[in-house]
């Protein structure tokens, strides 16, 4: 083939060709040539060039016209190149317009540069770019992707991918490459200078990373194996996670849920590159309440809404929230979008099924002509000030003009020293600093409290002097639910309380897990057996004992005793215990569980459904060796058992267990009674 035939055309023509093939993949060569205003010979040369470059693929089809027997369609790499060229094309046209404006008027046009074009030029109700290919191209790409190396997305990655593809993370075109990632971590900006505060990265395992290289396409699949997108890998890099934690979350402290995720859940290698969207993730729940950015924008256009204030929430709506949103909409003279997060939130939060039922129960308290609700499938990071800016950019993409930033917005709670990670109004300060660039007006509100004498809510800083403030904290609300106590109507709506009580009955009716941890021979299994008998004697709930040795035999017989395999074994125990807890039973676990991070992961898994009581059986190593009923310590000392906890492998003792017991000099019945008393004090069993 002549050299000229394999040379790609100049960018404008290449852009027009890729755009035309994506718009009309089944068109004949004659129709494509006419659309591009070039000869058939020139088109054939171009098609050979883009096919050789891997931007376009061809397939046979039946046709009487010999020039229509081949169909052309973009590959994933071609779709990514088209997206890149779109930005370049628009930037050139913008520069040409600016120059012409200056020539004719003597002044610049004043239009913003490319890096702020998508945030500032764009009408907030006009459609925004998505990363999906056409339906025809998607079907072909799905068949092609079946032969690619695949990565099964984690729940957080699935949330991120959905918002990348539907434009919620506009202007991102994919997972961040190394330059963009480092710039976002250090400066809250992409490498081109555009404001973006949160690293959106695809973390993978070392094993998977070793199988792929930049320049390669991989298929991204959901948990059920459905292909959602293709990633054209441009970067493969190892992040500095400690630096990421410090800059993004303010501290490298695993008490922060996102920092814990970063160090103990996320993979060690990041892949970056452009995304070619094939289909959105399937949601079977609340489908009528889920809207893409463009669907919301179309809804606002249809209703004639021009000002929309968004309310971000991950909690049930109580009366204080209603008052806050009413005031916000009135202050901004805007319509109201209740936009709760239903992706990943903070461990321990009320599940999104319960929350959405609560939202729907009180939606009729709002005027239907000026209020709507839509669900946002976002994986929150609880990053406080940075997260507030991020939430603003996301709501801007959804067509909003105003955004409520409240007290301690997206705060994760307290750090390892018992101090709040962020100040109560840090998020408002950072948001205000970037408000113009975000393109969204902040509506800031302080903590709302109920004033008894006025029988209504006020911002805390506007309460008349001498009046009585009534307030119920989140902790107090959970206590009242747990103990079946009254929740006054001034605090919440009866419909919301009813839904919460359905999901959170009194603790004495909930399932829970007692998780014993300690060295081999410490007495865990013995106490656990005694506990099981005592709880079964009381009756009322089914009791299941998940002893370490028994689980090894029935669930984990194929596993060894490496750190990786021990972690897998404990997570399996945690999963089974979480299912027992979710269904109202009592799970008693008695593994060694030597690692803090794994125990925390199990706690988070179980606390989504009920109480988790960690009991550290703190019998000393010397006493455990003295007992050594199985002779394991002797074999470990002789080097015949490798990686034995307490001898050749560490035991990370809990620092915040609900209960610590030492069996040395104590009989089993006494130790079991201490656990029962703890359960009774927590309201988990009847006194």
Residues in the chain: 687
Separation of alpha carbons 636 and 292, rounded Å: 58
Backbone angles phi, psi at 106, to 5 degrees: 85, 0
Phi, psi of 683 (to 5 degrees): 80, 10
Question: Binding residue per annotation — 525?
Answer: yes
Q: Is 68 annotated as a binding residue?
A: no
Residue 570, CA atoms < 13 Å, CB-side half-sphere:
25
DSSP 41-74: HHHHHHHHHHHHTTSEEEEE---SSGGGSEEEEE
Q: Distance between CA atoms of 578 and 437, rounded to whole angstroms?
A: 45
Judge whether 313 counts as a catalytic residue.
yes
The reply, when asked if residue 620 is annotated as ligand binding, is no
| Angle ∠(469,470,475) on CA atoms, nearest 5 | 130
Contact predicate 543/586, CB 8 Å = yes
Asked whether residue 523 is marked as a ligand-binding residue, the answer is yes
Could you say which of 6, 86, 116, 315 is catalytic?
315
Strand partners, 217: 232
Separation between Cα atoms, residue 654 and residue 616, nearest integer Å:
7
Active site residue 314: yes
Rounded CA-CA distance 645/596 in Å is 13
Q: What residues contact residue 466 under an 8 Å CB cut-off, 6+ apart?
A: none
Evaluate whether 153 touches 141 at the Cβ level (below 8 Å).
Answer: no
Active site residue 315: yes
Task: Single out the catalytic residue among 32, 313, 371, 513.
Answer: 313
**How far is residue 629's CA from residue 625's CA, in Å, rounded to a whole number?**
9
Burial of 117 (0-12, 13-18, 19+ CB in 10 A): middle
Give me the numbers of helices (H) and strands (E) for the chain, helices first please.
Answer: 26, 21
State the Cα–Cα distance between residues 546 and 532, nearest whole angstrom.
Answer: 10
- The residue from 314, 355, 480, 566 that is catalytic is 314
Helix, strand, coil percentages, rounded to 5, for the chain: 45, 15, 40
Describe the strand order of the beta sheet including 512-517 as a list of residue ranges: 543-547, 586-590, 512-517, 611-617, 659-661
Tell whether residue 193 is among the known ligand binding residues. Answer: no
Dihedral-angle region of residue 682 (phi above 0 means left; psi in -120 to 50 means alpha; beta otherwise)? alpha
Q: Which residues neighbour 545 within 8 Å (Cβ) at sequence distance 6 or greater?
A: 528, 529, 532, 588, 590
Burial of 315: CB neighbours in 10 Å, binned 0-12, 13-18, 19+: middle
Select from 453, 413, 405, 447 the least CA-distant residue to 430: 405
What are the angstrom distances between the C-alpha of 164 and each of 117, 249, 293?
Answer: 18, 22, 11
Catalytic residues: 313-315
From the annotation, which residues make up the binding site for ATP? 518-525
């Amino acid at each position: 083939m002549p050299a000229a035939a394999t040379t790609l055309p100049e960018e404008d023509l290449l852009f027009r060709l890729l755009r035309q093939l994506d718009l009309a993949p089944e068109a004949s060569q004659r129709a494509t040539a006419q659309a591009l205003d070039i000869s058939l010979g020139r088109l054939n040369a171009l098609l050979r060039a883009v096919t050789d470059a891997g931007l376009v693929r061809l397939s046979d089809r039946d046709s009487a016209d010999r020039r229509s027997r081949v169909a052309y369609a973009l590959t994933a790499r071609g779709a990514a190149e088209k997206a890149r060229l779109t930005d370049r094309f628009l930037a050139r046209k913008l520069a040409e317009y600016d120059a012409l404006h200056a020539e004719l008027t003597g002044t610049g046009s004043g239009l913003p540069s490319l890096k702020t074009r998508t945030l500032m030029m764009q009408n907030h109700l006009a459609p925004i770019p998505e990363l999906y290919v056409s339906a025809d191209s998607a079907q072909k790409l799905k068949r092609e992707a079946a032969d690619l190396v695949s990565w099964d997305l984690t729940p957080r990655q699935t949330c991120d991918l959905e918002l990348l593809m539907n434009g919620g993370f506009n202007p991102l075109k994919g997972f961040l490459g190394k330059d963009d990632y480092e710039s976002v971590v250090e400066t809250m900006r992409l490498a081109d200078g555009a404001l973006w505060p949160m690293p959106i990265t695809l973390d993978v395992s070392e094993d998977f990373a070793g199988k792929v290289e930049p320049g390669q396409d991989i298929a991204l699949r959901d948990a059920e194996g459905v292909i959602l997108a293709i990633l054209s890998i441009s970067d493969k890099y190892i992040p500095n996670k400690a630096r990421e934690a410090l800059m993004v979350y303010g501290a490298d402290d695993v008490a922060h849920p996102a920092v814990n995720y970063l160090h103990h859940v996320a993979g060690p290698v990041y892949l970056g590159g452009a995304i070619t969207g094939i289909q959105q993730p399937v949601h079977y729940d609340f489908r009528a309440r889920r809207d893409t950015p463009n669907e919301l924008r179309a809804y606002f256009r249809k209703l004639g809404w021009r000002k929309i204030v968004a309310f971000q929430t991950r909690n049930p709506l109580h009366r204080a929230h209603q008052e806050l949103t009413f005031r916000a909409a009135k202050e901004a003279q805007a319509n109201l979008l209740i936009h709760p997060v239903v992706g990943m939130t903070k461990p321990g939060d009320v599940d999104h099924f319960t929350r959405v039922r609560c939202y729907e129960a009180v939606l009729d308290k709002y005027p239907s002509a000026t209020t709507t609700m839509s669900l946002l499938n976002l994986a929150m990071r609880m990053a406080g000030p940075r997260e507030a800016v991020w939430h603003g950019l996301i709501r801007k993409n959804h067509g909003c003009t105003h955004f409520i930033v409240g007290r301690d917005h997206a705060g994760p709670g307290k750090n390892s020293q018992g101090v709040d990670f962020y100040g109560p109004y840090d998020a408002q300060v950072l948001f205000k600093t970037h408000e113009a660039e975000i393109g969204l007006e902040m509506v800031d509100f302080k903590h709302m409290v109920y004033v008894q004498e006025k029988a209504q809510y006020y911002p805390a800083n506007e309460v008349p002097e001498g009046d009585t403030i009534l307030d119920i904290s989140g902790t107090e609300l959970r206590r009242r639910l747990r103990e079946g106590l009254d929740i006054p109507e001034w605090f919440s709506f009866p419909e919301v309380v009813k839904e919460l009580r359905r999901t959170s009955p009194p603790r004495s009716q909930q399932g829970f897990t007692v998780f014993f941890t300690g060295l081999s021979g410490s007495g865990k299994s013995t106490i656990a057996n005694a506990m099981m008998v005592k709880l079964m004697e009381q009756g009322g709930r089914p009791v299941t004992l998940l002893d370490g040795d028994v689980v090894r035999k029935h669930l984990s017989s194929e596993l060894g005793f490496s750190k990786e395999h021990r972690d897998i074994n404990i997570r399996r125990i945690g999963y089974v215990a979480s299912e027992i807890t979710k269904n109202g039973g009592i799970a008693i676990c008695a593994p060694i569980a030597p690692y803090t991070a794994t125990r925390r992961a199990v706690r988070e898994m179980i606390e989504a459904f009920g109480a988790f009581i960690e009991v550290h059986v703190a019998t000393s190593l010397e006493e455990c060796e003295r007992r050594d009923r199985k002779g394991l310590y002797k074999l470990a000392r002789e080097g015949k058992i490798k990686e034995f906890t307490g001898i050749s492998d560490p035991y990370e003792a809990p620092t915040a267990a609900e209960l610590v017991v030492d069996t040395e000099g104590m009989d089993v019945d006494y130790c079991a009674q201490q656990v029962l008393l703890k359960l009774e004090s927590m309201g988990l069993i009847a006194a």
